[in-house]
Structure 1
Amino acid sequence: MNNYQYMLSDWSFKACDEETWLPAHVPGTVHTDLLANGIISDPFYGTNEEKLQWIDKKDWEYRASFELDPAWETLAHVDIVFDGLDTYADVSINGVHALSADNMFRRWRADIKPLLHKGMNTIVVRFRSPIAEDLPKLEKLGYALPASNDQSELGGMGEQRVSIFARKAPYHYGWDWGPRFVTSGIWREARIEGWSGPAMTDLFIRQDQVTAEAAKLTALVSIDSTEGWEGVLRVSTDELVWEKKISLQPGVQEVELELFMQNPRLWWCRGLGEPSLYHFRAELVEPAQNRTVAERSVRTGLRQIKLVREKDEAGASFRFELNGVPVFAKGANHIPNDSFVTEVTHERYRHEIATAAECGMNMLRVWGGGIYEADIFYELCDEYGLLVWQDFMFACSMYPGDEAFLSNIALEAEDNIKRLRNHPCLALWCGNNEIDSAWAHYVKAGWGWKEKYDSDQRERIWADYEAIFHDVLPKAVERFAGGIDYWPSSPLRELTGDANQHAHQLSGEGDIHYWGVWHAVEPFANYHTHIGRFMSEYGFQSFPELDSVLKYAPETELALESDIMLAHQKNGRGNQLIKEYMDMYLPTPKDFKSFLYMSQVLQAQAIQTAIEAHRVHKPYCMGTLYWQMNDCWPVASWAGMDYYGRWKALQYVVRRSFRDLMLTVQESKDGEIAVSVVSDLRHDTQGVLRLSLYDIHGGLLAEKTYSVHAFADSVSHVCTLHFEDLLEGRDPAGVVLNAGLELNGETVDSKPYYFVPAKDLALPKAKIAVREVPGSQGTAFELKSDVLVRQVWISAEHEGIFSDNFFDLLPGVPMMVEFRQRGGSTSSEAFVSGVPGKLQVRSMVDFIMD
């Protein structure tokens, strides 16, 4: 036997100051194990979060016993391997110390062969309280570092914010959409590995030059050999094989083998082509017996991806190019899918990534306050053709820069870059989220952080920042990432070392986070004037639907300012901000349950405005990533898909707004509207624009058609129209204009346009006729009304999605929708054909005051 692997199982746990051991699940966390054993109540329900802050003040230990196959004694190496320990941990084998860990994001390994004996062995992992561990570091530093999202008050710590000292998921300490649950536990796989002779520890297919004609690659094979060895390194994929004679020395070494492929299948992101993937297998072969003694396989896609920043008349571009083709990035910011990440199943990951693809996205940003995601996340992005903007795990805080901390970060970066670098989806490594702009070292701006420090402290804090984000991390990316670009901070104008570095809304360079709408209560119209070269963050909140809210609150707490609603709103004035904006734009909801629905309509309207504004300004603007894709617990937030995976109104609007051919109707100036077609297609398109004016009480009043030539990868203006020419003296509050884009007689996009704000539209009472489409076997339905119906919401008995939802139904114009059920854990598909069960169809008129 040359190698051996044993998965550690049958764990138990307890608080270190207690005697009773309880069953534990690994991978897992203390919180989820306490819940499973009935020690605590559901952390997400009601105001339970506040009652559970004692957990992170304790030390915890996990224990397992194991008996290895007797053959382990013949192996030269036997290692204990933890893919993730959260966070400060000491591991002992049979009572003898084996390793200590101090970084949630690193893989930990130690040789334990001298500690093992025949028969049963015992492993104990003792987790030290991250709070108790880091409080002395704060005292030693002598001043607090900014960490504005650290909810230390909720944790019973006053203003003692210690999150910045731990290499641990920042959002565990709370965020303005997430709770404070500072976890501990064995959060990724734990196993024992043994081997003799050579063992492959890593395989990287470096893509040196890739075109449609040829791919020049290098297989980088890391090998740990217990002895000298001579033989052949063989790498293969499909029917191609490359070989090289090698001679190994005892110890760790890296061997290279050049690979050349003609006419390779390229990997493309969604919308540009197929995300073709290759499986590469590397083997160490003894020639005499043609025997494989070690092997490793990886899956990758062949592509060239780069961030292009070229000077132009407006400043400098900020766009991604994939295989030489400019990509308009359409997507969202991703946060962890759960406060307890070990609860995120493969099905939940698939549901999120499939949702992104269903909605026309081609990029997700893995935001820097969460985790370096599980392998399955990136594998699914590879398969679905979604690019990944990958932050390092630093966000909205200043960090220490002592030698031990920097060394820890360097190893963390190496671990994660190496783990992820074979994924073709990876498009960018970004140093951090919002720290450069928050501190704003070279200008009188930012979040007011640096004003709290004297000049010496400021320079020291900034020097520590530069050490991490301008030295350690870019060096790691350059050394290990295989040519992927690095961007120091998001947002950022340019790395200049002076006032020009600061990102602002109209800089003409870099990427932008625009939060004037929401935080500054600016009108939605400002989305049209605050446009950067790449919009990497912006957002607007809403509540989940009623069924989701009732999972964390009883009927008696359904009020905007109830204790539970405020506990599940982490953004300070968030609930009141939603109401303020609703008063500006929408009719008044008749009760709180109606408020939930109307908040989703409001959120969708805001983000639709933003996306259309960004897309209509291509190629000046070449990316729009809204905040945020998902939730980590049930909460009022900026997510388009709630914690349970249910699509909000926003998700359906995003799907329409991210179509490769999108029709946009914009008010160009007083009394005029401009109609344009935005195309992300790589070929020109001929079609027809049909403008139809309807009486909201029923009847087609007028219709015009225009020829459309939509140029490839461009914005094509179709027409500009005056209100008076369209209305011809009619009451603007009594009509709706529908713009439809037709290709070969089929409508591929349509947009209703209203001449007055929604709150000034006197909606008629409507009766929506719902008819099952013959032959659909109960999966498709036709909806029709004689009058205008706004924001039709179809809800189903079973979990799933509709082909469209939260749409306006025009008078006398039928709308067909299809239902697809959520695939579940037993299906390989995220959405499968199925019947919705009982349908409920409602619209805005059902939720507003008479």
Structure 2
Amino acid sequence: MLRRELHDGWTACALRGPVGHGCDGVAVPAGVPGSIHTDLLAAGLIPDPYLDDNENLVAWIGRCDWEYRTRFSWSSRDAPGLDRHDLVFDGLDTVATVLLNDVEVARTRNQHRTYRFSVADLLVEGDNELVVRFASPVRHADRESLALGYRPQVNKHPFNAMRKSACSFGWDWGIDAPSVGIWRAVRLESWTGARLASVRPLASVSLPAHPGPDGEAGPGPTRAPGRLDVHVDVERAAGADGALAVEVVLRSPLGDGSRPVEHRAEVGLAAGSSSAVVHVDVPDASLWWPRGYGDQPLYDVRVSVGPAQPVDGVAGTGPAAWTDEWTGRTGFREARLDMSPDEHGTSFTVVVNGRPVWVKGANWIPDDVFVHRVTRARYAARLDQAEQAGMNLLRVWGGGIYEADDFFELCDERGILTWQDFAFACAAYSEDEPLRSEIEAEARDNVTRLVAHPSLVLWNGSNENIWGFDEWGWQLRLEGKSWGLGYYTELLPAVVEELDGTRPYTPSSPWSGSLDIPANDRDHGSMHSWELWNRQDWSRYRDDVPRFMAEFGWQGPPTWSTLTRSVRDEPLTPESPGMLVHQKAAEGNDKLTDGLVRHVPLPDDMGDWHWAMSWNQAVAVRTAVEHLRSWAPRSMGSVVWQLNDCWPVTSWSAVDGDGRPKPLLHALAHAHADRLVTVQPRSADGGPPQGAPADRLVVVVGNDTDERWTGDVEVRRLSFDGTGLAATTLPVGVAARGSATLEIPSDVAAADDLAGELLVVSLDGVRALWFFAEPRDSELAAPRLVTEASREAGGWAVRVTAENLVRDVTMLVDKVHPDLRVDDMLVTLLPGEAVTFHVTGPATALAEADASALVGPRVLRSTNQLVTGRARRRER
């Protein structure tokens, strides 16, 4: 097999439509992989769509047709002995006509598919011209919506009428910038005899029974008998009907001495046969575990095909001259989803290698609207931040794309579980042709591509579509038309069972386990919680005990440096024009305000507003996660909306569109800590308070480690000045991967002065705080902080000592330099306590920092400032 990339020499130009000023008739250099927006931006013909109100200035691009064109030289002498020549596109976005030397090769209409076209008869010696013409995505979606019939969706564009990333048309956190382009690799592949059309390595293990000490869950096994079933489909060149050999070499990550162990197996394909399964037994396979549960050993897999050679004069398998080869990696592990009925309803528990995993996750959206810009390094940076936040799962949301191999490879290496939605979100979808065939082909492409990854533990049919049909008023609007249920309950699970069969599948998220139970029932399966944020205050998170929370979140602005880079309003206010362009949620600013003022007053200064909304987002989500963990094992997971952003915007993300961590990321790190102590309200019967004042307070000790946690929980009630008012000690023993709930005696739990007292609970240095009143109703005073900043290797050490009670001390160091980072945020200090923050960044950024800037009131923030209004300064 000879592969040649065709990424050079492309130009792009508009063919028709409302072409913007200066772009009509102009051919610009085009990046491949790439998109027309980034091509025009690189040529200086459009402003950056991410800045100010430029989104509207470039809206014409999605309403135009575009042509990409390149020339390449070719000679049969460059591929001696190879008689098949295929043009391969890993991704075309989206409605495309492909021409080679003025001959139409194909028409495509699916961003999520790969395409292969035989072009041997079209190639000419010497100069060849390749052209790809793209239809306007906006006009195509409108036409197809008419042809297929209206179906409900949540956008101003009918994204559900075509197979293109839904959020490229905009979302309640995303820019409306549907683009076109050759968004993944394109190449010419030359071969002869036979090639590997598809390879699906499916790993399985035979797990031993492994009770922990005293019947508790302890560390899982590190090895078990494994088997790799490699399913191979072969394409043969014309006339190549003879016997073939397929060889699999599995290379272990660990071996005898310094050399890994290799396991080999080979099968023969009879003349004319095109598929085989090669079995490789690994008697002592190293098990792959999620992060925090064990190691992530990965096995290299090499699959080769070639003509079978005779052995001792008899035709059959034997040493072969391989004509094609596939390489990848996989891991040995078992993944299942426990949705068993129980006394509370229906569970939703991710189980890996027989061990239940309490999911600490986040939803993942495309990390850039122009998805080709997301490199392996950028994936790695986001996954670094996911690990910083203590996450063990990312859900790839169905309104985006099937992420690149790089994403899953990095998750494999780090032990971050992945949950992949099929590309359906918040809409009804036609089950008629031509859409149905496109969807089946897309599913087959992506299941085949992703099955080798051990991190992938769940396929999910759609996002909110069954819930939408049940509760969003779709039924009357559909008037009997199909809406996608057949995809989620028949087509997709059949494809998954046929091509995978090693992972669970759910039809939608949320999912109750049955069409007879409402999809978003809190007692059954997975739940999405959006009454909070949209209509209710975040303190109400404690009212529900879902079995698994698959979506919930609270909005906050991007970091200050990202905000001021992307919105250059003068003056900058929460309602200034650019700010509103970068706020996509319906009535988003009103919801931000309503969700804040129950807790702290609404600031009248932009810098304080930014800090207040950032603080509120972090505290809201931390409250929810700690609540969910306090109900383990009844509740078995939290998947916050969302980890990342695709552009600079006010949104629910923990990492903003420029890749900078918001305070929320640090709040998640606290709430996801392996060992957690939290104070929670309970009703008289031990259940959630459900909006009423709590009858009692409890301490919940969560132990997400493989070792038992024992000790004495110290509970103190203090006044804000640090005076002890009441105390008790509660002995506790928490099983590995378990939790314990301890009631706080009423004489300690009941405050005499709600506004001026708090509970301080600690075990082995792990601490929880409980305030009896909201900050705005409390006696918080202006912060009195003593600071000392000193240089250290790699950055600055900033020691902060509190002379009074100071809540949620945070350094917003990006205000000093956009590239500075701090290791922690949201640290509450009692009188006399101190914390040292470590500030890092590139040498150039550190050189610009000085002690006075790092500890100034615009950088060193606290909740006290929001309540007392002290130390306010206008941001310049």
TM-score (normalizing by structure 1)? 0.90
How far apart, CA to CA, are the structure 2 residues paired with 1:728 and 1:510?
Answer: 38
What secondary structure does 2:482 align onto? helix
Matched residue, 1:172: 168
1:281–1:298 CA contact under 8 A, matched in 2: yes
How far apart, CA to CA, are the structure 2 residues paired with 1:526 and 1:209?
Answer: 43
Deviation at 1:557, TM superposition (A): 4.4
Matched residue, 1:47: 53
Matched residue, 2:533: 518
Deviation at 1:292, TM superposition (A): 4.4
Matched residue, 1:132: 139
How far apart, CA to CA, are the structure 2 residues paired with 1:680 and 1:835?
Answer: 41
Q: Does 1:783 align with 2:800?
A: yes
2:728–2:748 CA contact under 8 A, matched in 1: no
Matched residue, 2:27: 21
Matched residue, 1:217: 228
How far apart, CA to CA, are the structure 2 residues paired with 1:413 and 1:584?
Answer: 46
Q: Does 1:802 align with 2:826?
A: no
Q: Does 1:80 align with 2:96?
A: no
Backbone CA RMSD of aligned residues: 2.5
Deviation at 1:354, TM superposition (A): 1.4
Deviation at 1:651, TM superposition (A): 0.8
Letter in 2 for 1:221: V
Matched residue, 1:243: 265
How far apart, CA to CA, are the structure 2 residues paired with 1:31 and 1:740?
Answer: 54
Matched residue, 2:710: 686
2:786–2:802 CA contact under 8 A, matched in 1: yes
Residue number among 269, 272, 294 corresponding to 2:324 in the alignment: 294
1:778–1:835 CA contact under 8 A, matched in 2: no
1:139-538 aligned at under 5 Å gives the runs 139-141=146-148, 143-148=149-154, 150-151=155-156, 161-211=157-207, 212-226=223-237, 227=240, 228-231=242-245, 233-238=247-252, 239-247=261-269, 249=271, 253-284=274-305, 291-440=321-470, 446-453=471-478, 457-458=479-480, 460-462=481-483, 465-496=484-515, 500-506=516-522, 508-520=523-535, 522-538=536-552
Deviation at 1:356, TM superposition (A): 1.0
Matched residue, 2:217: none
What secondary structure does 1:133 align onto? helix
Deviations 1:652-704 (A, max 9, x none): 11001011211110123546321110122233111332334444345666665
Deviation at 1:263, TM superposition (A): 2.2
Deviation at 1:129, TM superposition (A): 1.2
How far apart, CA to CA, are the structure 1 residues paired with 2:571 and 2:84?
Answer: 59
Residue number among 731, 748, 758 corresponding to 1:725 in the alignment: 748
Matched residue, 1:113: 120
Deviations 1:340-373 (A, max 9, x none): 1112222221111111112111111111101111
Residue number among 44, 59, 62 corresponding to 1:56 in the alignment: 62
How far apart, CA to CA, are the structure 1 residues paired with 2:343 and 2:756?
Answer: 45
2:559–2:661 CA contact under 8 A, matched in 1: no
Residue number among 35, 41, 58 corresponding to 1:35 in the alignment: 41
Deviation at 1:57, TM superposition (A): 1.4
How far apart, CA to CA, are the structure 1 residues paired with 2:320 and 2:809?
Answer: 66
Q: Does 1:65 align with 2:71?
A: yes
Matched residue, 1:122: 129
Deviations 1:581-630 (A, max 9, x none): 21111233241221111111111121112111211111111111111111
How far apart, CA to CA, are the structure 1 residues paired with 2:194 and 2:672?
Answer: 50
Letter in 2 for 1:804: D
Q: Does 1:708 align with 2:725?
A: no
Q: Does 1:673 align with 2:693?
A: no
1:5–1:191 CA contact under 8 A, matched in 2: yes
Residue number among 635, 655, 667 corresponding to 1:621 in the alignment: 635
Deviation at 1:5, TM superposition (A): 2.8
**Distance 1:386-1:777 versus aligned 2 partners, 3 A rule:** closer
**Distance 1:467-1:794 versus aligned 2 partners, 3 A rule:** same
Deviation at 1:834, TM superposition (A): 12
How far apart, CA to CA, are the structure 2 residues paired with 1:704 and 1:803?
Answer: 33
Q: Name whichever of 639-648 and 684-693 sits farther off.
A: 684-693
Q: Name whichever of 702-711 and 546-555 sits farther off.
A: 702-711
2:465–2:508 CA contact under 8 A, matched in 1: yes
Deviation at 1:737, TM superposition (A): 2.8
Letter in 2 for 1:276: P
2:98–2:104 CA contact under 8 A, matched in 1: yes
1:819–1:835 CA contact under 8 A, matched in 2: no
Q: Name whichever of 406-415 and 618-627 sits farther off.
A: 618-627
Q: Name whichever of 341-350 and 637-646 sits farther off.
A: 341-350
Q: Name whichever of 303-312 and 810-819 sits farther off.
A: 810-819
How far apart, CA to CA, are the structure 2 residues paired with 1:232 and 1:504?
Answer: 47
2:95–2:110 CA contact under 8 A, matched in 1: yes
How far apart, CA to CA, are the structure 2 residues paired with 1:306 and 1:531?
Answer: 22
Letter in 1 for 2:525: G
**Distance 1:706-1:472 versus aligned 2 partners, 3 A rule:** same
Matched residue, 1:156: none
How far apart, CA to CA, are the structure 2 residues paired with 1:834 and 1:716?
Answer: 48
How far apart, CA to CA, are the structure 1 residues paired with 2:426 and 2:244?
Answer: 51
Letter in 2 for 1:714: G
1:819–1:834 CA contact under 8 A, matched in 2: no
**Distance 1:401-1:575 versus aligned 2 partners, 3 A rule:** same
Letter in 1 for 2:63: K
What secondary structure does 2:598 align onto? helix
Deviation at 1:31, TM superposition (A): 1.0
TM-score (normalizing by structure 2)? 0.88
Q: Name whichever of 585-594 and 32-41 sits farther off.
A: 585-594
Deviation at 1:420, TM superposition (A): 0.7
How far apart, CA to CA, are the structure 2 residues paired with 1:835 and 1:437?
Answer: 52
Deviation at 1:813, TM superposition (A): 1.2
Letter in 1 for 2:101: N
1:391–1:431 CA contact under 8 A, matched in 2: yes
Residue number among 716, 740, 755 corresponding to 2:762 in the alignment: 740
2:677–2:701 CA contact under 8 A, matched in 1: yes
Matched residue, 1:756: 773
How far apart, CA to CA, are the structure 1 residues paired with 2:450 and 2:821?
Answer: 31
Q: Does 1:549 align with 2:555?
A: no
How far apart, CA to CA, are the structure 2 residues paired with 1:179 and 1:676?
Answer: 42
Point out where structure 1 has 5 or more consecutive residues left out of the alignment.
152-160, 441-445, 825-831
How far apart, CA to CA, are the structure 2 residues paired with 1:224 and 1:352?
Answer: 38
How far apart, CA to CA, are the structure 1 residues paired with 2:669 and 2:721?
Answer: 29
How far apart, CA to CA, are the structure 2 residues paired with 1:843 and 1:98?
Answer: 63
Deviation at 1:330, TM superposition (A): 1.0
1:629–1:641 CA contact under 8 A, matched in 2: yes
What secondary structure does 1:115 align onto? coil
Point out where structure 2 has 5 or more consecutive residues left out of the alignment.
17-23, 208-222, 253-260, 310-317, 684-693, 871-876
Letter in 2 for 1:32: T
How far apart, CA to CA, are the structure 2 residues paired with 1:94 and 1:348?
Answer: 37
Q: Name whichever of 812-821 and 102-111 sits farther off.
A: 812-821
How far apart, CA to CA, are the structure 2 residues paired with 1:332 and 1:117?
Answer: 51
2:547–2:635 CA contact under 8 A, matched in 1: yes
How far apart, CA to CA, are the structure 2 residues paired with 1:763 and 1:634?
Answer: 34
How far apart, CA to CA, are the structure 1 residues paired with 2:121 and 2:601?
Answer: 73
What secondary structure does 2:408 align onto? helix
Percent identity over the alignment? 33
